[in-house]
Amino acid sequence: MADEKSSLSIIALLVSIVTLILVAYMALAPSGGNSGDYSTEKNLAGELADNNLYEASIEEYMTVLSDRNLEPKTRANINYLIAKTYFENLRDYENAAAYYVRARALDPEGSFYTEAGKNLIASLEKMGRIVDAKRELDKSTNIDSIYAEHEGETMVAKIGDLPVYLSQIDNEIQELPPDVQKQFLGKEGKLAYVQQYVATELMYRAAIREGMENDPEIERKKELLAKQLLVEKYAVEKVLPQINIDTTDLKNYYLANKDDMFDGKDYDDVKTQVLMSYQQNKAQQAFSEYVAKLSAAENVRIFEENVK
């Protein structure tokens, strides 16, 4: 009987141990309803942020990070979202910097990596840690590739460790209108442009660190500029080739406008002026005709009565 009681006690003890193990496992394991899918928590965190409840939003994200089995990419993304909230909404740059560092370390290939780097630098600057900010800025620039690309060229300036080469300055000057280019000829003129280039680069980098490239007004102007450049390219490649310079037509244009546009001067005296005016007139005509074709194809209607 004693042996039977002893056996029962051992069995009861084993059952108790197994039960404790199961309870402990269930407590540590993710709940069955979640299974590693934290879309509910993330959606709630986003909704809290939308309602300016930023600290509550971060708390919701922290519940996701508490899962030790969370995969690194998801953990990196959550750290990035927390960092962004601290940076943009709470202006807590110390916490923002810490979470940006975690996000970048956990997923160096993440789509957020570049933006996180910019905001990390900006956070360090706002904290007064200029040396650390400069170190991060230098790390984000691939200096070796820049040196290799310009091997054997003349360096005219350095912005931190970033070299500026004479060929870069020459290329930029070449892009200016001819009259403006004359201002930067010779050593003194070119030196003035180098100083202007450096000043512009410093201001540009500071603006990027502040996130100003995402300003809605900047985005709108970029779209307008891109549209203008595309239209100009299209006109040059599609419209201008249709312009034919006819000598007889050119002479007739001169005779028709001799007194009004050319002060009654002889053709040989105003030949260049006549040609430029004629080309401009033909270009405007070709452009109008091309736009008319496009308008017909796309069924364009203009309601003049509504223009007030």
pLDDT in tens, 265-286: 888 888 888 888 888 888 888 8
| 34 contact partners, CB below 8 Å, separation of at least 6 | 40
Q: What pTM value is reported for the model?
A: 0.47
pLDDT at 19: 43
266 phi/psi in degrees, rounded to 5: -65, 150
Based on the fold, state whether residues 136 and 190 are members of the same structural domain. no
Based on the fold, state whether residues 127 and 152 are members of the same structural domain. no
pLDDT at 295: 92
pLDDT at 224: 92
How far apart are alpha carbons 20 and 163 in whole angstroms?
65
* Residue 291 belongs to a domain: yes
Based on the fold, state whether residues 148 and 136 are members of the same structural domain. no
Query: How confident is residue 14, by pLDDT bands cut at 50, 70 and 90?
Result: very low
Based on the fold, state whether residues 45 and 71 are members of the same structural domain. yes
How far apart are alpha carbons 278 and 245 in whole angstroms?
9
* Residue 220 belongs to a domain: no
* Residue 29 belongs to a domain: no
Res 199 pLDDT > 70: yes
How far apart are alpha carbons 109 and 88 in whole angstroms?
23
Based on the fold, state whether residues 112 and 176 are members of the same structural domain. no
* Tokens at 39, concatenated: 């879309």
Average pLDDT in the 155-170 region?
87
Sign of CA dihedral 130, 132, 133, 135: positive
How far apart are alpha carbons 70 and 93 in whole angstroms?
26
Q: What SS3 state is found at 177?
A: coil
Res 13 pLDDT > 70: no
Sign of CA dihedral 119, 124, 130, 133: negative
pLDDT at 300: 92
* Residue 62 belongs to a domain: yes
* Residue 181 belongs to a domain: yes
| 146 contact partners, CB below 8 Å, separation of at least 6 | 162, 163
Res 11 pLDDT > 50: no
pLDDT at 192: 94
> Of the candidates 98, 113, 140, which is a domain's last residue?
140
- Per residue in 44-93, pLDDT (tens digit) is 888 888 888 889 889 888 988 888 888 889 899 999 999 999 998 998 98
Q: Residues 157, 198: contact at Cβ < 8 Å?
A: yes
How far apart are alpha carbons 138 and 92 in whole angstroms?
24
> Of the candidates 140, 173, 200, which is a domain's last residue?
140
pLDDT at 215: 84
Average pLDDT in the 190-204 region?
92
Based on the fold, state whether residues 82 and 66 are members of the same structural domain. yes
- Count of the separate structural domains present in the chain: 3
Q: Residues 217, 126: contact at Cβ < 8 Å?
A: no
Based on the fold, state whether residues 239 and 297 are members of the same structural domain. yes
Query: How confident is residue 39, by pLDDT bands cut at 50, 70 and 90?
Result: confident
| 201 contact partners, CB below 8 Å, separation of at least 6 | 159, 164
* Residue 2 belongs to a domain: no
| 70 contact partners, CB below 8 Å, separation of at least 6 | 36, 64, 78
pLDDT at 141: 62
pLDDT at 251: 86
172 phi/psi in degrees, rounded to 5: -65, -40
Query: How confident is residue 305, by pLDDT bands cut at 50, 70 and 90?
Result: very high
* Residue 288 belongs to a domain: yes
Residue 307 per-residue DSSP state:
-
Domain that holds residue 72: 39-140
How far apart are alpha carbons 113 and 107 in whole angstroms?
8
Based on the fold, state whether residues 170 and 105 are members of the same structural domain. no
Q: Report which secondary-structure segment, H or E, holds 176.
A: none
Res 10 pLDDT > 60: no
Q: Residues 193, 173: contact at Cβ < 8 Å?
A: yes
Res 26 pLDDT > 80: no
Res 16 pLDDT > 70: no
